[in-house]
């Protein structure tokens, strides 16, 4: 049997896995997209055919003791997504700011006409490194505002548009800190436990309108220079771990003896975003090299 050169390719049902493009025609909003896991998710979503709305605070936040993503890093993520053929809208947006969140979502809908997927990835691991009675109110409030209230604001702003479409997928990037405690990281641990609660509550609220809400709990993710990621280095700094011993601290108690790769998190996010996971909501995908299995 011969084929004409312009014959349409064989029909591939959405979400059939394998090498199919699984997010064609979908619009995905990703917060904290300037670098790290957010950049890995953005480029993977673009590879899978999605058009992307990339949000990042793109500037330092008073009270957070390390550099946030920059405008240049956000532009770099956008360029990588365009290389995969995605249409991109990138904007500075602080998830602590309700008006900015609402405006960013409105601009995204004005540009693309729809929203299908939200990846709540923006998060900060510090200020940390203190026992609870040493934590100031401002430090506590800041950590919860970014890591827990931010995702809630993003869900509140986006779900009305997903509801109009009759469905959608929200993916909250939590942490193993949402499942177990870590010493001297109380605000982070509390926020990430809260994010899993928000995931389950939102899954129940929105199941009737076809929106699925799931979480991913990465363990210690390798600081990949390609992604300009540095969260592990920041945790090492805040705990005062001696130079050169950081990796061993993170691998302690981890059966695979390998740090998690941001691409593994991005692959799980694609799975939760597409119809491959149509039966999954209110669930938590753990990617931690077995850390919480012990």
Ligand X SMILES: NC(=O)c1ccc[n+]([C@@H]2O[C@H](COP(=O)([O-])OP(=O)(O)OC[C@H]3O[C@@H](n4cnc5c(N)ncnc54)[C@H](O)[C@@H]3O)[C@@H](O)[C@H]2O)c1
Name the segment binding ligand X (CB under 6 A); options: 82-90, 107-115, 224-232, 237-245. 224-232
Please list, in sequence order, all residues whose beta carbon lies within 8 angstroms of the beta carbon of residue 124, skipping any fewer than 6 positions away: 61, 64, 68, 142, 143, 146, 147
Which residues in 278-293 are b (16+ Cβ under 10 Å) and which e? Answer: eeebbbbbbbbbebee
Q: Which of 37, 88, 154, 286 binds ligand X (CB under 6 A)?
A: 37
Q: Is 53 in the site for ligand X (CB under 6 A)?
A: no
Backbone φ, ψ for residue 126 (5° rounding): -150, 160
Would you say 142 or 211 has its CB closer to ligand X? 142
CB of 124 to ligand X, least distance (A): 5
Interface with ligand X includes 281 (CB under 6 A)?
no
252 is catalytic: no
| Cα–Cα–Cα angle for 146, 152, 153, rounded to 5 degrees | 80
Phi-psi domain of 49 (left: phi exceeds 0; alpha: psi -120 through 50; beta: other): left
Q: Does 229 bind ligand X (CB under 6 A)?
A: yes
How many Å apart are CA 160 and CA 166, to the nearest integer?
10
Least distance in angstroms from the C-beta of 26 to ligand X: 21
Max CA distance (Å), the chain: 75
Minimum CB distance to ligand X smaller for 14 or for 61 = 61
- Cα dihedral 175/176/178/181 (nearest 10): -130
Task: Fill in the per-residue mask, 130 to 159: x = in contact with ligand X (CB under 6 A), - = not in contact.
Answer: ----------------x---x---------
Binding status of residue 94 toward ligand X by CB under 6 A:
yes
Q: Which is nearer to ligand X, 168 or 219 (CB)?
A: 219
Judged by beta carbon, residue 49 or residue 263, the one nearer ligand X is 263
Query: Which window, 89-97, 179-187, 206-214, 269-277, contacts ligand X (CB under 6 A)?
Result: 89-97
Token pair 């673009």 is found at 46
CA angle 219, 223, 227 (to 5 degrees): 115
Query: Is 128 a residue that touches ligand X (CB under 6 A)?
Result: no
Q: Per CB under 6 A, does 218 bind ligand X?
A: yes
Angle at 152 between CA 147 and CA 153, to 5 degrees: 105
Catalytic residue among 11, 161, 182, 188: 188
- Conformation bin of residue 232: beta by default, left when phi > 0, alpha when psi is -120 to 50: alpha
Give the tokens for residue 210: 């076809």
Of 48, 56, 116, 139, the one binding ligand X (CB under 6 A) is 56
Interface residue with ligand X, options 105, 179, 231, 266 (CB under 6 A): 231
**So which residues are the catalytic ones?**
188
Binding site for ligand X (CB under 6 A): 31-32, 34-38, 56-57, 68-69, 94-96, 121-125, 146, 150, 173, 175, 218, 220-221, 229-232
């Amino acid at each position: 049997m011969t084929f004409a050169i312009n014959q349409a390719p064989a029909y591939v049902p959405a979400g059939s896995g394998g090498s199919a493009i699984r997010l064609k025609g979908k619009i995905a909003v990703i917060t904290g997209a300037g670098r790290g896991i957010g950049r890995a998710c953005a480029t993977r979503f673009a590879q899978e055919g999605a058009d992307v709305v990339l949000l990042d605070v793109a500037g330092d936040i008073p009270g957070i003791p390390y550099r946030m993503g920059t405008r240049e890093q956000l532009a770099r993520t956008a360029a990588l997504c365009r290389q995969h053929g995605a249409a991109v809208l990138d904007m500075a947006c602080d998830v602590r700011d309700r008006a900015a969140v609402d405006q960013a979502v409105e601009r995204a809908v004005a540009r693309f006409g729809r929203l299908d997927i939200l990846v709540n990835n923006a998060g900060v691991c510090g200020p940390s490194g203190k026992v609870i009675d040493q934590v100031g109110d401002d430090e506590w409030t800041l950590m919860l505002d970014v890591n827990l209230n931010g995702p809630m604001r993003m869900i509140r702003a986006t779900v009305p548009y997903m509801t109009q479409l009759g469905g959608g997928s929200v993916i909250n990037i939590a942490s193993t800190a949402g499942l177990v405690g870590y010493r001297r990281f109380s605000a982070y641990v509390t926020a990430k436990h809260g994010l899993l609660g928000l995931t389950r509550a939102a899954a129940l609220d929105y199941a009737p309108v076809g929106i699925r809400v799931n979480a991913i709990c990465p363990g210690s993710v390798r600081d990949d220079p390609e992604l300009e990621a540095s969260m592990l280095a920041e945790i090492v700094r805040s705990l005062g771990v001696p130079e050169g011993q950081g990796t061993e601290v993170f691998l302690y108690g981890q059966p695979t003896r390998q740090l998690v790769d941001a691409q593994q998190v991005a692959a799980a996010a694609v799975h939760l975003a597409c119809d491959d996971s149509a039966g999954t909501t209110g669930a938590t995908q753990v990617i931690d090299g077995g850390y919480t299995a012990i």
